[in-house]
Structure 1
């Protein structure tokens, strides 16, 4: 309670243009410490939280929201983990207290013998208090390897690897459509129903808020973990498509509202980010390659053709396979060309007679 009151006081009494925590601390440190009875380190953390929230609000072009008494920040001096019995020692406005933690074997393995740098005590929706502990560790050096796993992102299949693994997007598409229909119905009731109906609809919308995002994050975590585990087992690096700006490009194409909504809801960047940070943690290199023509180029003869929905058939060599798998194999070739000396030779080919016959170059007569 005192931490949230201090944050609200700082935000209301210190110049709103200040977003540097040291500048904010220099102005209000003594007043906050004497008025709210916080320890010196808690005052520093309160100033830091106000500064961080102001920066976020400035970036999103909105006002700083009111601070609620549901959490407070700690540093290495205001909290300490006692491994014997797994207690956490917290500094409060009166005295230090020791609180038992409910830890699993996973958490014990993470906490054992590792110094913690900071933490945040939060009250969750279930009414229980949780402590979020930050640990620092040195990332292993990225392994060098000639083996590459190509990953093709898509809507029908969320991810397809060059080793033949794939994750269908059918289930998440149906879940997203269900969430959309539910939100549409509730939003209509929240604006047109009776007073009690509107209140109930708003409560349900609030409860459903974030459920779709949490499911997407859970799915992307599972997919990225599987790919990184396979890369570790095969001593490979991972190559993905750089799909930056894909929404802007696809929205220029004529599509109905349903297709536009489905395309814009895919979290390709999140899946790539999960792969990158998990790769850093495990020493697996993740590289991004240009997506141009990866789904239209034959992985065997490198002839550029056209894909027919889910299937790919090369007009040059007759290769017939799944289009997403062919794209993953091309991404693998791109990754090999980037990762190996003289790798560009992997993407070169001889023009045979059949390809020469079908090659039509535009020309202009000279006068």
Structure 2
């Protein structure tokens, strides 16, 4: 399996200036390549290279850097095409889709630039890197990371690494190719019900309340509103300083929750059954005051964290259809809309079973997980002689 590790670069002042200049140069060049690609109907990478490579070399880019700029631009158009095909930018004729299709893709001055082993080398013992820049090869740039990240870099780094600048700080994002352990045969499944009030509720009794995260999001929203309304230079400076703070906090919470779920499954020899919530934002209809909570709900990120942690641990994981899991009684199987008394209470109209609504749904998801796993296993019936 492929995962990424991010390390923080600690360059000297002159090294930082060279890195910053390099990123701006390659992204300015990528914008020019994007314009050429747009004018020519986004040709294939080989054809695009014929129209742009010589000019990129004339702009001072090295051979490998020029190749990466062309590939980065072509990949961006491939991603745009995939998003349009999947309907992620709206229906044909929608304002968002027309805007995306009517102009070339633009790259930010500090956008990531890929580096391969010819442009970047790692010295793990010294914790330094040597990297190509428009000012020449820079050597002995220090980097910082955890001991575990350094071990994984040393043992599993493979492929390209991306150089990116965020808020004046430089990072290298390296790709790791880690062998996946064999998935064991689960003795049962842990159902995981995802939500906004409770981030995750499992059939083992674990419940990650969302009160703290929701309060944090509300505080950040109010602060952004005040600073945006003020509009002064200091307010804009504070807005830049606090950008991505909410996203970092939410990601940390999701890491903690996902690690707890996967560790419990590994310890008990169980599998994990997750809800397949694809497209939920476009399916549900909510009042205006509820839309912010729905669109800031990072259920996909939590599911992705659980998935990759489960793969690393060899824990079986399946996605199940969540339909009617909040209305069905986990004790007798009776399904009725009236069983869901309110957001937190489930009371079966048939057998009288009373439980927290999320607990009841997690048990239904666990049962569905066992069914999906059994249906997906290979037949163990001996072959006919």
2:308 maps to 1:277: yes
**Which ranges in structure 2 are unaligned for 5 or more consecutive residues?**
1-21, 84-88, 90-99, 378-385
Residue 55 of structure 2: aligned partner? 31
Residue 340 of structure 1: aligned partner? 374
The structure showing larger relative contact order (alpha-carbon pairs under 8 Å, at least 6 residues apart) is 2
Summarize the Cα distance change of 1:66–1:131 in structure 2 as closer, same or farther, 3 Å threshold: closer
CA RMSD of aligned residues (A): 2.8
**Which ranges in structure 1 are unaligned for 5 or more consecutive residues?**
191-196, 344-367
Q: Deviations over 1:217-260 (max 9, x none)?
A: 22222211211111111121111222233333331x5x3x3233
Summarize the Cα distance change of 1:233–1:26 in structure 2 as closer, same or farther, 3 Å threshold: farther
Summarize the Cα distance change of 1:70–1:299 in structure 2 as closer, same or farther, 3 Å threshold: closer
Bigger radius of gyration, 1 or 2? 1
Summarize the Cα distance change of 1:326–1:123 in structure 2 as closer, same or farther, 3 Å threshold: same
In 1, distance between residues paired with 2:301 and 2:165?
A: 27
Post-superposition offset of 1:55: 4.2
Residue 45 of structure 2: aligned partner? 21
Q: Deviations over 1:324-357 (max 9, x none)?
A: 11111111111112223699xxxxxxxxxxxxxx
Match of 2:163 among 106, 113, 121: 121
In 2, distance between residues paired with 1:157 and 1:79?
A: 44
Q: Deviations over 1:140-166 (max 9, x none)?
A: 343332310001112221110000000
2:258 maps to 1:224: yes
Q: Deviations over 1:298-346 (max 9, x none)?
A: 2122122412221222233332221211111111111112223699xxx
Post-superposition offset of 1:134: 1.5
Figure out how many residues of one structure are paired with residues of the other and give that number: 331
When normalised by structure 2's length, the TM-score is 0.76
Post-superposition offset of 1:71: 5.2
Post-superposition offset of 1:208: 3.5
Summarize the Cα distance change of 1:56–1:186 in structure 2 as closer, same or farther, 3 Å threshold: farther
Equivalent residues in 2 for 1:1-367, closer than 5 Å: 1=22, 2-13=25-36, 15-16=38-39, 17-18=41-42, 20-33=44-57, 35-56=58-79, 59=83, 61=100, 63-68=104-109, 72-93=113-134, 94-95=136-137, 97-125=139-167, 127-190=168-231, 197=232, 199-251=233-285, 255=287, 257-305=288-336, 306-309=339-342, 310-340=344-374
